[in-house]
Amino acid sequence: MENFSTLFPCPPSTPSPSPFSFLSMVNNSSHHDFQTHKPSDFLGLMSSTTATAASMEVPASDITNVDSLQTKGLLGSDDGEVKSSGKKKGEKKIRKPRYAFQTRSQVDILDDGYRWRKYGQKAVKNNRFPRSYYRCTHQGCNVKKQVQRLSKDEGIVVTTYEGMHSHQIEKSTDNFEHILSQMQVYASF
């Protein structure tokens, strides 16, 4: 759980069906090309973002990459094999790469434009907040996400995405696009 890959590829000119299009690249091996940002720089910028976003009613206001996460057991690795030795005899269990955002938000759910259905909630060890499990409701799209609030800082919500969307975004995400645009700015540092 220590070594996660970069969270914000955000290539400047990628044709995308949604602000979260970079999630569609998770099955692309090139995601290793993306560089990690220094968490200190990143978080430093975030504080200003928080104020801005808060005044715009966005659901989530700052975003950072998982390299700064130290929550035990919160995330898997980025190379598709989340479990350390998660393989079955005969066929190996393929786990999709997972990508996490750390966001500072009053609400748990980021309105990323896709429709999600909650399918589970679990209490997490060493965390007084439960982890929620969501699946994309679009037919044939089995993207999942987990949402968890950090117990050490309850203002921070970690959203972990697994898989890629196979469809267009389903509703307007003006607010979220604004966040994404800000993310790109930060990513350029």
Partner DNA sequence: CGGGTTTGACCTGCGC
Partner DNA sequence: GCGCAGGTCAAACCCG
Binding pattern to DNA, positions 133-152, x when CB under 7 A? xx--x------x-x------
User: How far apart, in whole angstroms, are the C-alpha atoms of residue 59 and residue 104?
Assistant: 9
SS3 of residue 96 by DSSP: coil
Residues 6 or more apart whose Cβ sits within 8 Å of residue 106: 155
Residues 6 or more apart whose Cβ sits within 8 Å of residue 3: 77, 78
Q: Is 161 in the site for DNA (CB under 7 A)?
A: no
Return the number of the residue (30 or 139) whose C-beta is nearest DNA. 139
Q: Is 113 exposed, middle or buried (0-12, 13-18, 19+ CB in 10 A)?
A: buried
Return the number of the residue (17 or 86) whose C-beta is nearest DNA. 86
Q: Is 117 in the site for DNA (CB under 7 A)?
A: yes
Residue 179 vs residues 14, 51, 111: alpha-carbon distances, Å: 17, 12, 11
Binding pattern to DNA, positions 65-94, x when CB under 7 A? --------x--x-----xxxxx-x----x-
Q: Is 171 in the site for DNA (CB under 7 A)?
A: no
Binding stretches for DNA (CB under 7 A) = 73, 76, 82-86, 88, 93, 115-125, 131-134, 137, 144, 146
